[in-house]
């Protein structure tokens, strides 16, 4: 499972590959928003530009590619900033929430976060086992005789 390391919070959180960064942060109690975002964010639609995070350089492939919304909304922001609501986590990643605030102790906190290794995590969703209904439907469809009269095909 990929790990998201939240530098400001000093927190490592596991998630499934492909999970939305904003949803994981909110689920884990990470404060993504400054005052403006707390008072009124768009709920993850990519419209309010209040959920940005900085991705630590070198981890750009850890998240899904920038969306067209991000390209438009973040055109005057640093290239390593992302909208958390638009980013899907592919691999373990180090992020700084509310990067516009900087860090109280400057680079030291960031360097400490980078010093500890992150697990890479899988690149795809784990395969789900078939349910008994799926197995029986597959068996009937795959048999040379096809489903028998009176069989229930789901």
Binding site for ligand FES (CB under 6 A): 41-42, 44-51, 83, 85
Nearest residue relative to ligand FES (C-beta): 85
Q: Are the beta carbons of 122 and 59 closer than 8 angstroms? A: no
Give the shortest CB-96-to-ligand FES separation in angstroms: 16
Sequential DSSP letters for 23-70 = HHHHHTT-----HHHHH---SSSS-S---EEEEPTT-GGGBPPPPHHH
**Count of alpha carbons within 13 Å of 104, Cβ hemisphere only?**
3
Q: Which is nearer to ligand FES, 32 or 94 (CB)?
A: 32
Give the shortest CB-127-to-ligand FES separation in angstroms: 31
Q: Which is nearer to ligand FES, 54 or 85 (CB)?
A: 85
Q: Which is nearer to ligand FES, 41 or 97 (CB)?
A: 41
């Amino acid at each position: 499972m990929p790990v998201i390391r939240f530098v400001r919070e000093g927190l490592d959180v596991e998630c499934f590959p492909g999970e939305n960064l904003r949803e994981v942060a909110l689920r884990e109690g990470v404060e993504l928003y400054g005052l403006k975002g707390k008072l009124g964010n768009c709920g993850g639609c990519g419209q309010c530009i209040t959920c940005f995070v900085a991705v630590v350089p070198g981890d750009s492939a850890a998240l899904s590619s920038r969306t067209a919304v991000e390209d438009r909304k973040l055109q005057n922001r640093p290239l390593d900033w992302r909208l958390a609501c638009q980013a899907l986590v592919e691999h373990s990643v180090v992020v700084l929430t509310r990067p516009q605030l900087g860090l109280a102790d400057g680079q030291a906190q960031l360097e400490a976060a980078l010093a500890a290794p992150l697990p890479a995590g899988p690149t795809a969703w784990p395969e789900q086992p078939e349910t008994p209904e799926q197995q029986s439907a597959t068996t009937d469809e795959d048999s040379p005789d096809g489903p028998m009269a009176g069989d229930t095909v789901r």
